Amino acid sequence: MATAQAEVRRAPATASNGHAPRVRLHSEILPPDLGPATPAALRTSRRALAIMAVGIVIVQLISAPIGHRLDAIAHTGTDVYSLWEKYVTHPVPDILILGASPARTDVDEGILSGDLTALIGRPVRAETMGFPGENPLFLDALMYRIMKRTPHPKLIALTTIGPDLSENCFLCNVAVNPGLWDISDLTDPGFVQLALHVSPNPSWLAIGWALPVFAYYSSLIALQCVAYDAGRSVSTKVIGRIPRQLQNPTPCETLAAYKWGTQSTMTPGDFTGSLDTYRIGMLKYDVSPRIYSSVADMIARARAGGSKVVFLRPPLHPALLASFPGQVQTSKQSVDAIAGQLNLNVIDFSDAMPYDPNLWVDALHLDRQGAGVFAPQLAGALATALGS
Amino acid sequence: MLFNSPTYIAFLPAVVVMYWVLPKAYRPVLLIAASYYFYASWNPPYLLLIFGLTLINYGIGRVQGNATPRRRSLLWLAVAINVAALGIFKYLGWLDQSASSLAGFLGLQWPAPLVHLALPIGLSFFTFEFLHYQIDLYRGSDPITNPIRFALFPAFFPTQIAGPIKRYQDFDEQVRSNPKYDPRIFLEGIELIVIGMFKKAAIADNIGRLAMLVFSDPSHAGMIDAWAGALGFFVELYFDFSAYTDIARGSAQLFGYRIPLNFRQPFLATTFQDFWQRWHMSLTFWLRDYVYYPVGQTRLLGVLKPRMRAMVAVVITLLVCGIWHGAGWNFVAMGLALGFSLVIDRIMTVNLWRRQMPTWLRISGGWVQTEILLLLAMVFFPNSISTAFQLWQHMFFGGLHMNVLTPVKFLEIVGVFGGTCAIQLALRRWPPRELIKDLNVAAVLRPAYAFAMAGAAVYFAVADAALTLSPQKFIYFQF
């Protein structure tokens, strides 16, 4: 405890209220004096601030391209920006499968396109755009951009597994702004207006547009993956093995996108983790008017562009269906009700895949082998939808 | 709105730009508006609490300042209102719970705990600022007559949530003089913010996880685990709170305000008393002025010999300090442990370390004694009393081995502590600003250093957010 030994500064001898002041002024806790404001000190500080300001501007300029690159590394090329760039730099597909991550993991584009071509008897190309955690708020803005480009896909299959339609899916809501930043076209006032309308946090969206460093700072996580990969490569060359410390999975290697093509069997950790994700996502399940409005707008936009639209329920692991029968039923009823109101067909594959752990990344996503097994069933349903 | 959240990093520059663009007369108003927005972003209804207390304290202060003969009654009224606010929101739930538990233990009928109030953020800090204001008025200081200036004193958002506890004379003098833009203060502000971010994201959150490994399973801890866990928490607490203080001071300096210090190289303290003059200084000196001195001078203790009276006053003061830290019996125990540690340290220092012996032995002996007493007392901060006693047991009788921590994790804790001590020693001997001030490259080195610290802070924060999905709260966030 500080005692009277500490230096004490006395207040002035009298105060305006006429009482002799006995107030201590606490020189101990006052910040140290900065010293005289000499011209040299002021000049140095001004220069340092100017350099800092220039640095901040440079960081804004480089943060978007660096962020895109690092995001691509972190998500094994399945980040929103990479998928959107792939879409705009390739010919428009005949069938576009759109939605949260299962839209990508459950579909092997090559096998599906081959099966569709064989079934229909002419070349048909299917493409997927599956974005982790994205919900209709983002997909509405994405549909706007898809329809800005001509020609349009003949059929658009909107996937939904349940939580992505819930207003209270926290993980889905936090994914909206990063997704919007990645597909932004600030020269299009219509897009800007729509993005601000659908964003759960419009002011934060605008900040990310104005100062891209706020939009892309989180991509720095991929540096850890790059450093680990470099460390593993060097250690393999130098000591002939990877040290135990570098054998732990990096943040990039824990994602379904990475495991899709590299992991042959679902691990218990992935299985229980995905059950938790589903359970949390379905808590307080509520298809709010805002979400419904985005679904309706998105479908109206696609139809206005001449595209057919269907709802697609991708496979869920049989153990998940058994663990959460109530939630699965609630979600199905909601999707059926929306489909009824919007006059849409629903293709339901939720129980189409077997228990076999070799076919799943986790309880929500098929792996490459599973997507291959699933492709013929999906091709049959999509060919019918395309023909009808 | 946490200091380490992206929202704050966007909010702060926006307010800073508006502040310097506005005419001088409107700047305090902008700061009040921004501060109330900052407070409301946590829990809008509780804005009424800070606003109401501000209004009441302003009114009582105005009457006190008029040299009314009822100044003493007014002081007691103000103290009662502020302490009641603190008591109702912070301690009533705990007392209710304790009474219910005691009744259950004695087999008596007692209704289940009824009070479930959320603790308003910053309450402990701004009520202490109000108390200081009223007591100093009673002691003869001039009141703040301008309501805008008065409202800014408790509300000022950089210090609103977790201090440092300001003194109104110093703060109001700055408000009145309407700070001019000084590039040196502004630059130092940015540096303080990035240093704070780095301390929090890179050090506090990572070391804290290691301490929690031990605290979450103390029954398996060996002696080395237990001491390392306590040391880890001590290091985390320092880096977490000093990070908060740095960001608060840095944020204030962007508006030209210089607010009190909270830390002055506390790991270098060689006595317990010395430690308290370096640790959470704004609280320590508040307690000295408004608890220790009045208690020491009270007639009730007049029967005791001066040395005994000082010791009793110290124990009572540190008991208040412990209870201020939180509503729980562990905080009562922490306060008592700190109080008795100070008494033990004083006795040891007078009877052992001040005897003739080599300087190095006196200093290092005092340092080791201080650290040991601190670690023993601080285990009550994050743990229940039973867990803390279990840890004490393992600290002395746990067997000389590690069951919970790996050697790498142990070295991480000890390395950060040792490295911090070495850096603090070096900074005392060679202050970096003094070293570079005459160099032509100073204008480049300082921004380069700030960018490096900011980059590292963001990297660690992102890595942490990947695990937890949100920024880690500061330990002193909800006080």
H or E element, residue B73: helix B71-86
Rounded Cα distance, B332 and B320, in Å: 8
* Residues of chain A neighbouring B190 (CB-CB closer than 8 A): 49, 52
Report the gap between the CA of B423 and the closest CA in chain A (Å): 19
* Residues of chain B neighbouring A37 (CB-CB closer than 8 A): 182, 184
Give pTM, 2 decimals: 0.81
Average pLDDT over residues A222-226: 88
Q: What is the pLDDT of residue A182?
A: 93
For the four alpha carbons of A180, A186, A187 and A192, in that order, the dihedral sign comes to positive
Taking a C-beta distance cutoff of 8 angstroms, is the pair A180, A199 a contact?
yes
Rounded Cα distance, B348 and B274, in Å: 14
Q: Out of B167, B459, B466, whose CB is closest to A26?
A: B167
Q: What is the pLDDT of residue A10?
A: 36
Rounded Cα distance, A224 and B459, in Å: 9
Query: Between chains, do B447 and A48 touch, taking CB under 8 Å as contact?
Result: yes
A17 to chain B, any CB pair closer than 8 A? The answer is yes
Q: Is A91 exposed, middle or buried (0-12, 13-18, 19+ CB in 10 A)?
A: exposed
One-character DSSP codes across B222-290: -HHHHHHHHHHHHHHHHHHHHHHHHHHHHHHHHTT-------S-GGG-SSHHHHHTTSSHHHHHHHIII
* Residues of chain A neighbouring B288 (CB-CB closer than 8 A): 1-3, 6
Is the pLDDT assigned to residue A8 strictly greater than 70?
A: no
Is the pLDDT assigned to residue A122 strictly greater than 60?
A: yes
CA atoms within 13 A on the CB side of A264: 0
Query: Between chains, do A51 and B342 touch, taking CB under 8 Å as contact?
Result: no
* Residues of chain B neighbouring A47 (CB-CB closer than 8 A): 443
Query: Between chains, do B292 and A1 touch, taking CB under 8 Å as contact?
Result: yes
Q: Out of B10, B141, B450, whose CB is closest to A214?
A: B10
Query: Between chains, do A45 and B10 touch, taking CB under 8 Å as contact?
Result: no
Question: How many CB pairs below 8 A link A and B?
Answer: 149
* Residues of chain A neighbouring B446 (CB-CB closer than 8 A): 48
Query: Between chains, do A34 and B9 touch, taking CB under 8 Å as contact?
Result: no
Q: In the 8-state DSSP scheme, what is residue A284?
A: T
Residue of B60, B64, B285 to mutate, testing the A interface (most A Cβ within 10 Å of its Cβ): B285
Query: Between chains, do B466 and A220 touch, taking CB under 8 Å as contact?
Result: no
* Residues of chain B neighbouring A17 (CB-CB closer than 8 A): 64-67, 140, 142-143
> Which residue from B200, B202, B196, B324 is spatially nearest to B252, judged by alpha carbons?
B196
What percent of chain B shows pLDDT beyond 90?
47
Q: What is the pLDDT of residue A24?
A: 55
Helices (H) and strands (E) in chain B, counts: 22, 0
Structure tokens belonging to residue B259 = 């607010």
Query: Between chains, do A1 and B288 touch, taking CB under 8 Å as contact?
Result: yes
Dihedral of the alpha carbons of A170, A171, A174, A178, in degrees to the nearest 10: -170
Active site residues of B: 325
Residue of A9, A43, A44, A220 to mutate, testing the B interface (most B Cβ within 10 Å of its Cβ): A44
Helix (H, G, I), strand (E, B) or coil at B427: helix
Q: What is the pLDDT of residue A14?
A: 41
Local confidence band at B131 (pLDDT 50, 70, 90 cut-offs):
very high
ipTM of the complex: 0.80
Is the pLDDT assigned to residue B370 strictly greater than 50?
A: yes
Is the pLDDT assigned to residue B234 strictly greater than 90?
A: yes
**What does the domain layout of chain A look like in residue ranges?**
74-224+253-387
Local confidence band at B115 (pLDDT 50, 70, 90 cut-offs):
low
Is the pLDDT assigned to residue A221 strictly greater than 70?
A: yes
Q: What is the pLDDT of residue A19?
A: 47
Helix (H, G, I), strand (E, B) or coil at A366: strand
What percent of chain B shows pLDDT beyond 70?
95
Average pLDDT over residues B88-98: 84
CA atoms within 13 A on the CB side of A367: 23
Report the chain A residue with the minimal C-alpha distance to residue B458: A217
Local confidence band at B34 (pLDDT 50, 70, 90 cut-offs):
very high
H or E element, residue A155: strand A155-159
- Which residue has better confidence, A380 or A386? A380
CA atoms within 13 A on the CB side of A156: 27
Q: What is the pLDDT of residue B103?
A: 81
Q: In the 8-state DSSP scheme, what is residue A308?
A: E
Level-2 CATH architecture, domain A74-224+253-387 = 3-Layer(aba) Sandwich (3.40)
Strand partners, A96: A127, A156
A351 to chain B, any CB pair closer than 8 A? The answer is no
Is the pLDDT assigned to residue B464 strictly greater than 50?
A: yes
